[in-house]
DNA sequence: GCTCTGGCTTA
DNA sequence: GTAAGCCAGAGCC
């Protein structure tokens, strides 16, 4: 049939609107919650009013031929039978909503609108079945705020979703579904299954959200196809999917809307009848819906009347409220017994209680994630599960000064343990108000990290994992992105419930996690003796900050700018045109298509233009060398030289990084915003950037102390290899010694030493002939030969590595010398590259992790000494094997020795017995000189 | 505005 | 070959 003929026929079809009753009622309830509509006698009416208006709005806007409302049944559904946890977390609806629902169920039929309900089924299934039944004869519009219905969309079936802000509707066909959710309706169920649905308690694959789910579905087409190609995925996604296979099948079943219920109805049965005004008008009178009543009186079917007049909203807020009817309180939800405190008397009472405790959990609410900019809005406290208090000290009767004055002695009391999630943040916020929080009794984020570093450790995930609790998210309070509102705009009680929940959950988590730690003594000690005490040390370092000489960078920026202009001109001349050198895509088009240079490797999206490719090309094509130069200069300029000055905090004139204690799977710290652990050093021009890192003032210098060859020493210690231990004991240059041994010569050339150095590093990273060959640009056969020489000379290194792998295969984890654990999956994978990657991680982790434990221990010792001796010098940075200090001139004779001693002492403390540890110290007027 | 990719910096 | 974080571009919203 031609388009012309089908189109008018299509238009002739009657329209049928299927309304998801319960979901729309819920929406009305929450949309009108703040209006607090109620009758003079206190009966709540917002949800009723909103829902009727939704129906009228549809009738007026679309003039439907058929309009049907479907409701869920109260009985358990077949979904509950198949999956007992289905919707298990969902709190009972608020009682004031239930009251209103009763009225709605009377009003809808009285309006003459067909209303359907079936025991054991949800509204979704009724709508799905009617859709299937009538889609050939009608144009269907599914009216619902629930995205799950997108699975039903196809030709002639569209979704009509109430818009977020106004009372308009958004129409979703297949294309709109795709553009809004990322997949087409046919694939929608697979995507839903991957994401799961926390409100229905359907798990999905942990860590896979809407974005990733849509991406995966688009890349592979379906869940089944994703599982066929698991090995291509990143480890986190892969592991999540492996664990979730059964859950996904189950979730997909639960989220499938039934389309084959036994519903015996004809189009005639669904015709709308005239409204029963004898019933409706008195009821509207009772509910005080005056404009609505007027509309029905005059002409219930008329379309040109004004929609929802505000008149109905005008009466009854405030003045005439029945004092016994407490609207806001009637929301039991899943919340505990939470109390909002906003006056001094209540605060004093709370303080007295807190002061008598051995420990409690707390959490601060602020205006910013950047601690130096964060204003304190309130603090929540919990000392019994399910119970919490929120001290609101902004824009209220209780001033921040009063709150701080009363709480400071308690927060600083060394006898009262502090429990919390990411306490470093709270400590830094409170530091701005002169409060030095101590001691860290338990940090739930760090405990989770120590128990299993590869997991995520945010509070919401921890609550879900360990307590089975669905928490209120911060975004639920203030929204997200553009429309995010200020925390000051949140109702104090709402904010209080959120804040209280966080303290409450932290306390409950502490109980669960502490028990888990109790089953592993070393992990418990790592928490209590390493990670928890380190929190305060890191907070101090971040707070202290590093001074930056902006003038140095400004000069450097100008030099780099000139150089970049010069180099890019040369490249453009060679290319015959100007283009964006920062775009790998454009660059590869120029190089490999226009200039026809030989392509070496491919990436996912095109030809690779990375260092290795360009270096290879540089031998024959000078332009490649110029591009490499451009790249390195541009990197330095954009990432460091131009970016760092903007990060100098206006209040302190210094740079304040964040040291993340819960990210690196091996136990290392990481640094971000900005990352001060990857400031350049290798190239001459890069090193100049370090010249901008300077002491705080003329009375200070920088002191740098770094462990020499720490990871190789640890490998020697852990393996007990006598040759390598001997080399270190004799203070030999380890790379030269290795060269001597593997090349069997006393005349070690520079090149031999370079190769030996690579091999030594290779050992730490889980050496493989292939990798070494690549790295040294030699054949795999040569690489194999070198490795076998190494094995012969340092036999115990290799037997140690084999032992690690055996143990890991048997137990599923590897450990540092202190007993810090990391679980390693995939050691038995049939896929070579996956298995090899797992083996390399297994080998590297004990070595890298032991070094991390050691320097953490050293930092604690140093911080303690500085405190005890009331020194004026400060530790300011940690770069994995190096510590940097802002050293006061009066302490130049004690600090270097103190630092060196503590760093060496730390090695002993974590159990290093056989290998000597060397620490190199240096001082200077900037980081280049000190290092 | 958000997320991913390629590329590059450190230990 | 291990462990991280950040930048610009690109693609989608």
Task: Write out pLDDT tens, residues A245-294.
Answer: 777 877 788 888 999 998 888 888 899 898 888 888 888 888 888 777 77
Residue scoring higher pLDDT (A234 or A345) = A345
- Does A274 fall in a domain? no
- The answer to whether the beta carbon of residue A326 comes closer than 7 angstroms to any atom of strand C is no
In this predicted structure, the answer to whether residue A314 has a pLDDT above a threshold of 90 is: no
For residues A396-425, give the mean pLDDT.
Answer: 96
User: Do A355 and A415 belong to one domain?
Assistant: yes
A397 with A510, same domain: the answer is yes
- The per-residue pLDDT for A329 is 25
> What range does the domain containing A714 cover?
666-719+843-931
What local confidence, expressed as pLDDT, does residue A397 receive?
83
Would you state the pLDDT for residue A102? 86
State yes or no: pLDDT of A242 exceeds 90.
no
Q: How far is the CA of A421 from the C1' of B11 (A)?
A: 29
Q: Which of residues A788 and A78 earns the better pLDDT score?
A: A788
3-state secondary structure of A345: helix
What pLDDT, on the 0 to 100 scale, is given for residue A88? 62
Q: Which pLDDT score, from 0 to 100, does residue A77 have?
A: 81
Q: Mind listing the pLDDT tens digit for each residue in A763-815?
A: 999 888 888 998 898 999 999 999 999 999 999 999 999 999 999 999 999 99
Is residue A661 in some structural domain? no
Q: How far, CA to CA in Å, does A283 sit from each of A33, A56, A110, A288, A630? A: 21, 17, 11, 8, 78
CA gap A793, A813 in Å, rounded: 29
Does the nearest atom of strand C lie within 7 Å of A772's Cβ?
yes
Cβ neighbours of residue A682 under 8 Å, at least 6 residues apart? Answer: none
Kindly report which listed range (A141-150, A222-231, A640-649, A787-796) carries the lowest average pLDDT score.
Answer: A222-231
Report the alpha-carbon distance of residue A787 to residue A761 in Å, rounded: 12
Of A residues 192-211, those with CB within 7 angstroms of nucleic strand B are 211
Read off the CATH number of the domain in which A852 is found. Answer: 3.30.70.370
Q: Is residue A625 part of a domain?
A: yes
Burial code (b: 16+ CB inside 10 Å, e: under 16) for A179-206 equals: eebbbbbebbbbbbbbbbbeebbbbbbb
Asked if strand B contacts A632 at the CB level, meaning under 7 A, the answer is: yes
* A724 lies in the same domain as A626: no
A819 CB neighbour count, 10 Å cutoff: 16
Backbone phi, psi, residue A200, to 5°: -100, 5
Strand, helix or coil at A156?
coil
A231 lies in some domain: no
Whether residue A90 has pLDDT greater than 70: no
Residues A686 and A762 in one domain: no
Does the pLDDT at position A837 exceed 70? Answer: yes
Q: Residues A16, A139: contact at Cβ < 8 Å?
A: yes
- As given in the structure block, the two tokens for residue A312 are 């109905």
**What pLDDT was estimated at residue A334?**
58
Alpha carbon distance A668, A801 (integer Å): 21
Q: Which of A547, A808, A552, A553 is nearest to A701 (CA)?
A: A547
Q: How far apart are CA A753 and CA A750, in angstroms?
A: 5
Q: Which pLDDT band holds residue A331 (cuts at 50, 70, 90)?
A: very low
Q: Closest Cα partner for A663 from A820, A457, A520, A368?
A: A457
Instruction: Return the higher-pLDDT residue of A470 and A18.
Output: A18
- Shared domain check, A129 and A73: yes
End-to-end CA distance of chain A: 80
Q: According to the model, what pLDDT value does residue A322 have? A: 25
Using a 10 angstrom Cβ sphere, with 0-12 exposed, 13-18 middle and 19 or more buried, the burial of residue A456 is middle
Asked whether the predicted pLDDT for residue A75 surpasses 90, the reply is: no
- Write out which nucleotides of chain B lie closer than 7 A to a protein Cβ: 1-11
In this complex, which residue's CA is closest to the C1' atom of nucleotide C6?
A: A639
Half-sphere exposure in the Cβ direction for A910 (13 Å, CA):
32
Per-residue pLDDT, A10 = 42
Q: Is residue A916 part of a domain?
A: yes
Q: Name the β-bridge partners of A365.
A: A378
Top-ranked range on mean pLDDT: pick from A99-103, A329-333, A510-514, A607-611: A510-514
What CATH number should be reported for the domain holding residue A746?
Answer: 1.10.150.20
pLDDT at residue A89 is higher than 70: no
Which nucleotide's C1' is closest to A768 (Cα)? C1
Q: What gap in Å lies between CA A756 and CA A253, rounded to an integer?
A: 58
Residue A379 in contact with residue A429, Cβ under 8 Å?
Answer: no
Question: Which of A268, A303, A318 represents a domain boundary (last residue)?
Answer: A268
Q: What is the CATH number of the domain that holds A146?
A: 3.40.50.1010
Query: DSSP string of A772-816?
Result: HHHHHT--HHHHHHHHHHHHHHSHHHHHHHHHHHHHHHHHSEEE-
Q: Is the pLDDT of residue A198 over 70?
A: no
- The domain boundary, picked from A521, A543, A565, lies at A543
The answer to whether position A145 is within a domain reads yes
- The answer to whether the beta carbon of residue A766 comes closer than 7 angstroms to any atom of strand C is yes
Tokens 């809808």 appear where? A108
What's the CA gap between A38 and A315, in Å, rounded? 9
Mean pLDDT of A839-848: 96
The answer on A762 and A712 residing in a single domain is no
User: Exposure pattern of A485-495 as b/e (b: 16+ CB <10 Å)?
Assistant: eebeebebeeb
Tell how strand A15-20 and strand A66-71 pair up: parallel
Q: Are residues A628 and A494 in the same domain?
A: no
As a whole number of angstroms, the distance between CA A159 and CA A181 comes to: 13
Asked whether A641 and A560 are in contact (CB, 8 A), the reply is: yes
Summarize pLDDT for A442-500 with one digit per residue, the tens: 999 999 999 999 998 999 989 988 998 888 888 888 887 777 888 998 999 999 999 99
Measured from Cα to the C1' atom, the residue closest to B6 is A584
Give the Cα separation of A770 and A783 in Å (integer): 7
* Domain presence at residue A214: no
Does residue A65 sit in the same domain as residue A116? Answer: yes
Kindly determine whether the C-beta of residue A666 is less than 7 Å away from any atom of nucleic acid strand C: yes
Q: What whole-number distance in Å separates Cα of residue A134 and Cα of residue A578?
A: 60
- Asked whether residue A230 is domain-assigned, the answer is no
Name the one residue in this structure whose structure tokens are 């940090």: A443
Report the alpha-carbon distance of residue A827 to residue A145 in Å, rounded.
Answer: 46
Judge whether residue A775 contacts strand C, using its CB and a 7 Å cut-off.
yes
pLDDT computed for residue A729 by the predictor: 98
Q: Which nucleotides in chain C have some atom under 7 angstroms from a protein Cβ?
A: 1-13
- CATH (domain of A475): 3.30.420.10
Asked if A684 and A648 sit in the same domain, the reply is no
Q: How far is CA A577 from the centre of its chain?
A: 43
pLDDT digits (tens, 9 = 90+) for A575-615: 999 999 999 999 999 999 999 999 988 888 889 999 989 99
Residue A309 CB lies within 7 Å of the nucleic strand C? no
- Identify whether residues A612 and A749 lie together within a single domain: no
Distance A647 CA to B6 C1' (A): 25
CB A564 within 8 A of CB A633: yes
State pLDDT tens for residues A486-539.
899 899 999 999 999 999 999 999 999 999 999 999 999 999 999 999 999 999
Residues A374 and A500 in one domain: yes
Residue A727 has pLDDT above 90, yes or no: yes
Q: How many CB atoms lie within 10 A of CB A453?
A: 20
**How far is A362 from A342, CA to CA, in rounded Å?**
17
Tell which of A235, A250, A268 closes a domain. Answer: A268
**Do A705 and A610 have their domain in common?**
no
Distance CA A30, CA A24 (A): 10
More confident: A873 or A182: A873
CA distance A253 to A244: 14
Contact assessment for residue A686 and residue A680, using Cβ atoms and an 8 Å cutoff = yes
Q: What is the pLDDT of residue A309?
A: 30
Number of folded domains in chain A?
A: 5
The CATH number given to whatever domain includes residue A630 is 1.20.1060.10
* pLDDT tens for each residue of A336-351: 899 999 999 999 999 9
């Amino acid at each position: 049939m031609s388009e012309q003929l089908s189109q008018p026929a299509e238009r002739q079809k009657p329209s049928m609107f299927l309304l998801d009753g319960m979901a729309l009622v819920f929406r009305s309830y929450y949309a009108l919650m703040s209006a607090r509509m109620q009758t003079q006698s206190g009966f709540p009416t917002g949800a009723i009013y909103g829902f009727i208006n939704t129906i009228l709005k549809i009738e007026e806007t679309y003039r439907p031929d058929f309009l049907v409302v479907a409701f869920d049944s109260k009985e358990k559904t077949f979904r509950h039978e198949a999956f007992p946890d289905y919707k298990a977390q969902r709190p009972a609806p608020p009682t004031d909503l239930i009251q209103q629902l009763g009225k709605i169920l009377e009003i809808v039929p009285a309006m003459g609108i067909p209303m359907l309900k079936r025991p054991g089924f949800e509204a979704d299934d009724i709508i799905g079945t009617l859709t299937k039944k009538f889609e050939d004869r009608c144009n269907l519009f599914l009216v619902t705020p629930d995205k799950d219905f997108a699975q039903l969309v196809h030709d002639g079936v569209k979704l009509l979703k109430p818009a977020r802000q106004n009372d308009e509707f958004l129409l979703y066909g297949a294309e709109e579904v795709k553009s809004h959710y990322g997949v087409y309706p046919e694939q929608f169920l697979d995507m839903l299954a991957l994401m799961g649905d926390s409100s229905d308690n359907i798990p999905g694959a942990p860590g896979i959200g809407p974005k990733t789910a849509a991406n995966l579905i688009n890349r592979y087409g379906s869940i089944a196809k994703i599982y066929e190609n698991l090995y291509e995925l990143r480890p986190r996604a892969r592991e999540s999917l492996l664990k979730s296979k059964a859950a996904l099948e189950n979730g997909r079943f639960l989220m499938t809307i039934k389309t084959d219920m036994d519903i015996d109805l004809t189009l005639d049965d669904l015709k709308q009848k005239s409204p029963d005004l004898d019933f409706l008008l008195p009821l509207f009178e009772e509910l005080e819906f005056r404009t609505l009543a007027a509309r029905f009186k005059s002409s219930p079917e008329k379309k040109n009347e004004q929609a929802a007049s505000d008149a109905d909203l005008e009466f009854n807020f405030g003045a005439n409220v029945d004092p016994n009817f407490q609207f806001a309180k009637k929301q039991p939800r899943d919340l505990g017994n939470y109390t909002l405190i906003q006056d001094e008397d209540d605060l004093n009472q709370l303080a007295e209680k807190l002061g008598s405790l051995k420990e409690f959990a707390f959490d601060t609410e602020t205006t910013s994630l950047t601690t130096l900019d964060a204003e304190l809005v309130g603090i929540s406290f919990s000392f019994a599960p399910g119970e919490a208090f929120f001290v609101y000290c902004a824009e209220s009767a209780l001033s921040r000064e009063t709150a701080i004055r009363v709480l400071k002695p308690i927060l600083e009391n060394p006898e009262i343990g502090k429990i919390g999630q990411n306490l470093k943040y709270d400590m830094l916020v409170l530091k701005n108000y002169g409060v030095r929080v101590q001691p860290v009794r338990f940090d739930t984020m760090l405990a989770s990290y120590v128990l299993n570093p590869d997991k995520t450790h945010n509070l919401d995930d921890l609550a879900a994992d360990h307590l089975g609790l669905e928490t209120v998210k911060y975004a639920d309070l203030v929204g997200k992105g553009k429309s995010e509102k200020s925390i000051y705009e949140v109702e104090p009680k709402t904010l209080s419930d959120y804040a209280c929940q966080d303290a409450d959950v932290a306390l409950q988590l502490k109980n669960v996690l502490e028990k888990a730690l109790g089953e592993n003594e070393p992990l418990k000690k790592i928490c209590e003796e390493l990670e928890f005490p380190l929190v305060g040390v890191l907070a101090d370092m971040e707070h202290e900050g590093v001074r930056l000489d902006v003038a140095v960078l400004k000069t450097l920026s100008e030099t780099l700018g000139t150089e970049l202009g010069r180099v890019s001109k040369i490249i453009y001349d060679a290319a015959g045109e100007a283009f964006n050198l920062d775009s790998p895509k454009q660059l590869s088009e120029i190089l490999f298509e226009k200039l026809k240079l030989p392509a070496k490797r491919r990436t996912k999206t095109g030809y690779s233009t990375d260092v290795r490719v360009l270096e290879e090309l540089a031998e024959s094509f000078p332009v490649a060398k110029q591009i490499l130069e451009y790249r390195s200069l541009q990197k330095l300029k954009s990432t460091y030289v131009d970016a760092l000055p903007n990060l100098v905090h206006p209040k302190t004139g210094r740079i304040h990084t964040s040291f993340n204690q819960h990210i690196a799977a091996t136990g290392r710290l990481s640094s971000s915003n900005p990352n001060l652990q990857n400031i350049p050093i290798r190239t001459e021009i890069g090193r100049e950037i370090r010249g901008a890192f300077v002491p705080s003032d003329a009375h200070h210098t920088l002191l740098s102390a770094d462990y020499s060859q720490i990871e190789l020493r640890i490998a020697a210690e852990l393996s007990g290899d006598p040759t390598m231990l001997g080399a270190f004991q004799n203070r030999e240059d380890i790379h030269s010694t290795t060269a001597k041994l593997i090349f069997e010569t006393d005349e070690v050339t520079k090149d031999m030493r370079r190769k030996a150095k690579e091999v030594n590093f290779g050992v730490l990273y889980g050496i493989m002939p292939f990798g070494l060959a690549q790295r040294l640009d030699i054949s795999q056969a040569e690489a194999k030969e070198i490795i076998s020489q190494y094995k012969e000379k340092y036999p115990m290194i290799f037997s140690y590595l084999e032992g690690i792998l055996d143990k890991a295969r048997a137990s599923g984890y590897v450990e540092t010398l202190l007993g810090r654990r990391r679980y390693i999956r995939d050691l038995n994978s049939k896929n070579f590259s996956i298995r090899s990657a797992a083996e390399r991680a297994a080998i590297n982790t004990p070595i890298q992790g032991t070094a991390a434990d050691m320097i953490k221990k050293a930092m604690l010792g140093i911080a303690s000494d500085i405190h005890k001796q009331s020194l004026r010098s400060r530790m300011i940075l940690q770069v994995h094997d190096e510590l940097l200090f802002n050293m006061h001139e009066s302490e130049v004779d004690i600090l270097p020795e103190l630092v060196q001693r503590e760093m060496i002492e730390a090695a002993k403390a974590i159990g290093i017995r056989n290998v000597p540890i060397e620490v190199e110290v240096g001082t200077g007027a900037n980081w280049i000189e000190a290092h």
